[in-house]
């Protein structure tokens, strides 16, 4: 099976180069990996001490950030190396300030793994949530490098638990310790004979709880809001927007809307703007405008949604009408904002918990969205109660970073 896996990776690498000729995203994926080894040679000396964190994409990076920051504090003489698999993670966070080196992870071939680890020579390695690359893990095991999984999630349908997944199960033997989010993941690992595992929880709660300590003010959002009840729509997709636009256009209540679409391509932004009959302004055209005069503010940029949530009275988080499902609910939740989402949320434990608590409302159609929004807009007590449940949920579930750090510091390099 390992031979077949390596063959598939080689074929995939070849095909991606062809796809990159036609896809801007795949071009970033391919071209970004061409400069990895030269960048590592330039930025890491053979005498440097390093610690390596790998994140599949932006969500995993944000999830691991509390641990990265604490490890950086505890090991100030080490260089922090962060790798991404996806362009959607790397391109957004390639200029982060917490890492000394941020690069794409080269494809999982034996040669790439050997070259990468020779150049990085990490003392500690952290894989965030998932992504188990057999060749990298095999080389790490040969080097006897301490390797940890943090905020791990395991499910029965993963390859580890299939009769033909032996080479993947072998890869798990690399990990020094598994820090998982829930008891189900712990039990699945125990079924494979793993005793080096504990339930630490999800470091995302630490990440979003820490947001409250930062300056989240945005003068232009404050000007737009103008002390008016505001609904913030985050990471919306067209299926979300179709429902939302109907409500916006028909709404007669004194409410403002901020929409931060998941995709900010100019063509799609213009389609969204043109579908709205209320007075609408884009972030890219806000200069010189009296933003208080507008009813709808479309955010056609990235990187400020978290701060925008701090101005929300109600939030709608997109993605729940597609696969794999709803986006990050914890950012609005930490600000004590009641949340609406679409129906596809069962793969996300925090979404399931918040819906079960009735702090978050799942809607399936226009009628349910209209009823939920109207109820929250007109009833201050209900809105505040649901918002309080959301913020309490975040505060009650933080602490995973401290558990992980305590174990690491008691297990010296």
Residue of 41, 60, 73, 139 with catalytic role: 60
Question: Does the bond joining 252 to the residue before it have cis omega, within 30 degrees of 0?
Answer: no
Distance CA(100)–CA(97), nearest Å, equals 7
SS3 406: helix
60 carries an active-site annotation:
yes
353/360 Cα distance (integer angstroms): 9
- What are the C-alpha distances in Å from 354 to residues 77, 287, 305, 342, 387? 41, 38, 21, 13, 11
- Alpha carbons 241 and 268: distance in angstroms, whole number: 11
Burial zone of 158 (CB within 10 Å; 0-12 exposed, 13-18 middle, 19+ buried): middle
The tokens for 135 are 């060749």
Angstrom distance (rounded) from CA 148 to CA 17 = 32
DSSP for 72-127 reads HHH-TTEEEEEEESSHHHHHHHTT-SS-SEEEEPPPS-HHHHHHHHHHH-EEEEEE
**Distance linking the first and last C-alpha atoms of the chain:** 34
Give the pair of three-digit tokens for residue 146. 């301490």
**Cα separation, 211 vs 188, whole angstroms:** 33
CA-angle at 270, arms to 268 and 271, nearest 5°:
65
Q: CA 221, CA 237: separation in Å to the nearest integer? A: 22
298-302 contacts, C-beta under 8 A, 24 or more apart:
298/258, 298/259, 298/260, 298/261, 298/269, 298/272, 298/273, 299/258, 299/259, 299/260, 299/261, 299/264, 300/261, 300/264, 300/266, 300/269, 301/264, 302/92, 302/264
Strand partners, 128: 150
Residues with active-site annotation: 60
């Amino acid at each position: 099976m390992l031979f077949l896996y390596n063959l598939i990776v080689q074929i995939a690498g070849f095909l991606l180069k062809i796809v990159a000729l036609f896809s801007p995203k795949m071009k970033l994926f391919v071209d970004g990996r061409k400069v990895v080894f030269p960048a590592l040679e330039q930025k890491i000396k053979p005498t440097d001490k390093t610690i390596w964190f790998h994140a599949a994409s932006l969500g995993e990076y944000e999830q691991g950030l509390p641990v990265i920051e604490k490890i950086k504090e505890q090991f100030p003489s080490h260089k922090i190396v962060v790798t991404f698999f996806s362009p959607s993670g790397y391109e957004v966070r390639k200029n982060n300030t917490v890492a000394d080196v941020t690069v794409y992870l080269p494809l999982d071939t034996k040669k790439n793994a050997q070259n990468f680890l020779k150049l990085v020579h990490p003392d500690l390695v952290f894989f965030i949530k998932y992504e188990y690359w057999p060749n990298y893990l095999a080389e790490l095991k040969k080097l006897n490098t301490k390797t940890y999984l943090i905020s791990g999630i395991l499910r029965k349908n993963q390859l580890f638990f299939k009769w033909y997944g032996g080479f993947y199960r072998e890869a798990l033997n690399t990990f020094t310790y598994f820090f998982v989010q829930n008891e189900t993941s712990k039990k699945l690992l125990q079924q494979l004979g793993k005793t080096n595992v504990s339930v630490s929880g999800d470091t995302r709660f630490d990440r979003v709880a820490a947001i409250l300590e930062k300056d989240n003010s945005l003068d232009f959002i404050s000007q737009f809001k103008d002390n008016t009840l505001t609904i913030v729509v985050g990471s919306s997709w067209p299926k979300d927007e179709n429902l939302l636009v109907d409500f916006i256009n028909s709404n007669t209540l004194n409410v403002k809307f901020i929409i931060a679409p998941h995709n900010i391509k100019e063509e799609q932004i213009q389609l969204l703007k043109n579908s709205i009959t209320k007075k609408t302004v884009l972030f890219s055209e806000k200069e010189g405008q009296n933003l208080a005069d507008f009813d709808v503010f479309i955010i056609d940029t990235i990187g400020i949604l978290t701060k925008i949530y701090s101005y929300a009275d109600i939030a709608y988080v997109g993605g729940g009408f597609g696969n794999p499902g709803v986006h990050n609910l914890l950012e609005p939740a930490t600000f004590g904002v009641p949340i609406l989402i679409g129906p596809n949320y069962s793969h996300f434990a925090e979404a399931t918990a918040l819906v079960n608590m009735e702090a978050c409302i799942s809607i399936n159609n226009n009628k349910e969205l209209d009823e939920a929004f109207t109820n929250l807009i007109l009833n201050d007590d209900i809105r505040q109660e649901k918002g309080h449940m959301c913020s309490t949920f975040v505060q009650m579930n933080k602490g995973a970073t401290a558990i992980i750090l305590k174990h690491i510091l008691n297990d010296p390099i």
